[in-house]
Amino acid sequence: MSLLYSKSADYDEKRFEDYEKYRAKRPDKTPEEIVAHVEHAKDYANEKYFIDEYFERYEAYRAKNPDKTLAQVVQAVNTNIDRPYYTGVVTTDMSKGYQIMVNKYYKLPDDYSTKLESLSGYGNGYLEPTAAAAFKKMVEAGREAGVNLRSLSPYRSHSLQVWQYQVWVDAHGQEMADRESARPGHSEHETGYTLDINTAVEEAHFERTAEYKWLMENCWKYGFILRYPENMEYITGYVFEPWHYRYVGPEHAEKIMKSGLTFEEYYAYYINNPDYPETGGPVE
């Protein structure tokens, strides 16, 4: 069988098993393409978040951005930022449950709906029942610690998101609207898993409050993550929002918050990567 690959100039008999593994995944590739892929993929061997099926995109992005490190190349492609916003959009995989991705590349199904539970007594609006129960527990724990948390802007209907996004466009233009708001169908608020806590304006400097400090230390215990961290706009697509929290479940929330990964990165490697165990891996 090794004769299949031996005509390639880059053939290395020691890599035969690697050739066969890639051939099993990509039977459409020629032996020469298989050998070339395995040879070039060696460059990424030490990149923890390398995903084999993205190899061709890594190489394309690397060619256009020769100043980027391999880690930066992998990060960019894994989170789709090698593509312009709102291009190559796919409908999110609802089988992922509380870990579904909704952003500028993943949208909710057109017929999406969810059950809702009131947050009365804990602020405004509604959340999906499991997320609502978790938020209420978090608020109560916060009260015991001397911090006050309340829901300001939780679930948003699709029609409300249509209106809100258009308000941004009319006031600031589409480019700014896409930085500060989400296009309809692309807003986490439509999931029922997300809410803004206490405020939703930069001028309030929520990140300087005792409430924010407490959330950073404890939100994961209740299944929530800070969705749009500081200095990560180039990955998440949104400016720092210290008030915006997303329910993903305690197990995943702990891994995300302790790893320092954005949800985009975590989703790409642990949730949506067919080569990784479904449960996700340990966070170092």
Residue 69 pLDDT: 94
In this structure, are strands 90-91 and 106-107 parallel, antiparallel, or unpaired? parallel
- Write down the catalytic residue from 188, 241, 264, 265: 241
- DSSP-based helix, strand, coil % in the chain, nearest 5: 50, 10, 40
User: CB-side exposure of 30: number of CA atoms within 13 Å?
Assistant: 6
Give the tens place of pLDDT for each residue, 55-79.
889 999 999 999 999 999 999 999 9
Cβ atoms of 174 and 108 closer than 8 Å: no
- Residue 279, pLDDT > 50, answer no
Residue 11 pLDDT: 58
Q: Could you tell me which of 215, 216, 162 has the C-alpha nearest to residue 189?
A: 162
Q: How many other C-beta atoms are found inside a 10 Å radius of the C-beta of residue 1?
A: 8
Q: State both tokens at 193.
A: 């898993």
pLDDT-based confidence at residue 10 (cuts at 50, 70, 90)? low
Residue 276 pLDDT: 66
Give the tens place of pLDDT for each residue, 184-218.
999 999 999 999 999 999 999 999 999 999 999 99
Query: Taking the chain, what is the end-to-end CA distance rounded to the nearest angstrom?
Result: 40
pLDDT-based confidence at residue 31 (cuts at 50, 70, 90)? confident
pLDDT-based confidence at residue 24 (cuts at 50, 70, 90)? confident
Q: How many other C-beta atoms are found inside a 10 Å radius of the C-beta of residue 275?
A: 10
Q: Could you tell me which of 155, 283, 272 has the C-alpha nearest to residue 220?
A: 283
Residue 281 pLDDT: 42
Largest CA distance in the chain: 72
Residue 154 pLDDT: 98
| Lowest model confidence (mean pLDDT) among 43-47, 120-124, 172-176 | 43-47
Q: How many other C-beta atoms are found inside a 10 Å radius of the C-beta of residue 114?
A: 15
Residues 6 or more apart from 58 whose CB is under 8 A from it?
44, 50, 73, 74, 77
- Which of helix, strand or coil describes residue 148? coil
Alpha-carbon gap, residue 189 to 185, rounded angstroms: 10
Q: Which CATH number fits domain 90-271: 3.40.50.10470, 3.90.1330.10, 3.30.1380.10, 2.60.120.10?
A: 3.30.1380.10
Residue 148 pLDDT: 98
Q: How many other C-beta atoms are found inside a 10 Å radius of the C-beta of residue 141?
A: 15
Alpha-carbon gap, residue 225 to 260, rounded angstroms: 11
Could you confirm whether 241 is annotated as catalytic? Answer: yes
Across all residues in the chain, what is the average pLDDT?
Answer: 89
- % of the chain exceeding 90 in pLDDT: 72
